[in-house]
Structure 1
Amino acid sequence: MKLTALFLAFLASASAFQVPAAPALKQTALSASTLDGAIGLTVETGRKCPPLGAKILEGTGPEALAWFENAEIKHGRIAMVATIGFMVQKYGVHFPLYLGPSGSNVFHPDNAATWYLSKSAGLTFADISHMSPFEAVSSVPLAGWLQILFVAGWSECVAYQKQYNESPRLPGDYGYDPLGFTKREGGLESAELKSLRVKEIKNGRIAMLAISGWVANEAIPGALPVWHP
């Protein structure tokens, strides 16, 4: 079960990295000067595209650059969620959540035994709270993984529609803005939103490195010789 789940996860992520070459060929080829100053290239790189990145994008067009930008933002967001989930599991946090000196929980019912992760398997959230992240992942029933893959697939369809069938397009913009950030003056092109976009990319990059190191340390204890949850 564990190997099957990991295989499906890697298969899904690998499919996201298939570059749409055909649209890129219709665009004017990118030059090194065009790449310099792209979103995400800040003081850490001297605001210039690293040689490897320039080599990968050599001969492609703006469509390919937008695809890579979108892929990085998407994987960064997933990694940020993964780091939170990893820490939550390591620290044994689970539903129901108890707050206050009285021990009253945030949700109902009060009995933790009724908070099932899977009724068919008789598995509650409390049952997996003491497990390692790997053990917790392998404990999720097949039906649970099918639900996760369905939601992820639906999200990908929505993202594809927004990113490839609408114009103009902005990497990372899927039209979901419940807090109304894009409705402020200047929208996504305002100085504030541009700054937040760069911060998101940077935090996503850190999260991708962090979750990679944490997972490696779980698989090979001691592989990460720095702090980890």
Structure 2
Amino acid sequence: MQLTALFLAFLASANAFTLSPTPQTPSALSASTLDNAIGLTVETGRKCPPLGAKILEGTGPEALSWFENAEIKHGRIAMVATIGFMVQKYGVHFPLYLGPSGSNVFHPESGAAWYLSKSADLTFADVSHMAPLEAVRSVPMAGWLQVLFVAGWFECVAYQRQYNEGGRLPGDYGYDPLGFTKREGGLESPELKSLRVKEIKNGRIAMLAISAWVANEAIPGALPVWHP
């Protein structure tokens, strides 16, 4: 009886997270719509690649927006990852020191090391001497839980603003402290449209770069070109 009740409760909770059916789009994406998608420039012959067109065949505008949003998000994460990879390789760590006396940027009167985890007796300086993949493995589980919590919270906010509020371009989560989107034309202005294309291109390069760097860390010599 208890097992039955538990099973029914599980089904009820799972049903609560089931998305409501998406209404059918009146018409599928046309070739001209795909070819006018942002990010299709000289590298792709200004046309949607055949594989992309095949994947999106028979879908509506929502599917295209979903893929555009996913690419932008992955590109942003990859750009941050490449910076973090180089910072780790070059041994930069908290606290940061400046000047001939080597004073702490944040607390000049203190030269004490900053702890990444006191329970594991692990400081940022300790981690700075490790290879990137070794540094990842050294972070305690409690640290990864904090990362996952913050990332999950951001995903919930991003999903709410991107899909539930509606009317936003892919990658626009409503966070604009410098007021770029408040200018005339907003994100559709020629200047910001150019910057959006540059962001997509830099994100694509970053995704390739971090994949190659991690592969070289796992298999030394796998990347026969310069890398940090």
What TM-score range do you get, normalising by the shorter chain?
0.7 to 0.9
Task: Give the corresponding residue for 1:23.
Answer: 22
Contact 1:23–1:63 (8 Å) recurs in 2: no
Question: Would you identify which runs of 4 or more consecutive aligned residues in structure 1 move more than 6 Å?
Answer: none
Residue 125 of structure 1 and its aligned partner are, at CA, apart by 0.3
State the aligned residue count: 209
Q: TM-score, normalising length from structure 1?
A: 0.87
In structure 2, distance between residues paired with 1:138 and 1:217:
17
Task: Name the SS of the counterpart of 1:137 in structure 2.
Answer: helix
Q: Which runs of 5+ in 2 are unaligned?
A: 1-18
1:34 partnered with 2:33: yes
Task: Give the corresponding residue for 1:95.
Answer: 94
1:122 partnered with 2:117: no
Residue 24 of structure 1 and its aligned partner are, at CA, apart by 7.4
State percent identity of aligned pairs. 88
User: 1:124-149 CA distances to partner (integer Å, 9 max, x unpaired)?
Assistant: 00011100001100011111000000
RMSD over equivalenced CA pairs, Å: 1.6
Contact 2:104–2:111 (8 Å) recurs in 1: no
Task: Give the corresponding residue for 1:111.
Answer: 111
Matches within 5 A, 1:66-215: 66-108=65-107, 110-113=110-113, 115-215=114-214
Larger gyration radius, structure 1 or structure 2? 2
Task: Name the SS of the counterpart of 1:64 in structure 2.
Answer: helix
Contact 1:24–1:63 (8 Å) recurs in 2: no
* Pair 1:112–1:227, CA change in 2 (3 A): farther
In structure 1, distance between residues paired with 2:118 and 2:26:
53
Matches within 5 A, 1:213-224: 213-224=212-223
Q: TM-score, normalising length from structure 2?
A: 0.88
User: 1:53-92 CA distances to partner (integer Å, 9 max, x unpaired)?
Assistant: 1001001000000000000000000000000000000010
In structure 1, distance between residues paired with 2:183 and 2:116:
40
Q: Which runs of 5+ in 1 are unaligned?
A: 1-19
Amino acid at match of 1:149: L
Residue 112 of structure 1 and its aligned partner are, at CA, apart by 3.6
Task: Give the corresponding residue for 2:8.
Answer: none
Task: Name the SS of the counterpart of 2:98 in structure 1.
Answer: coil
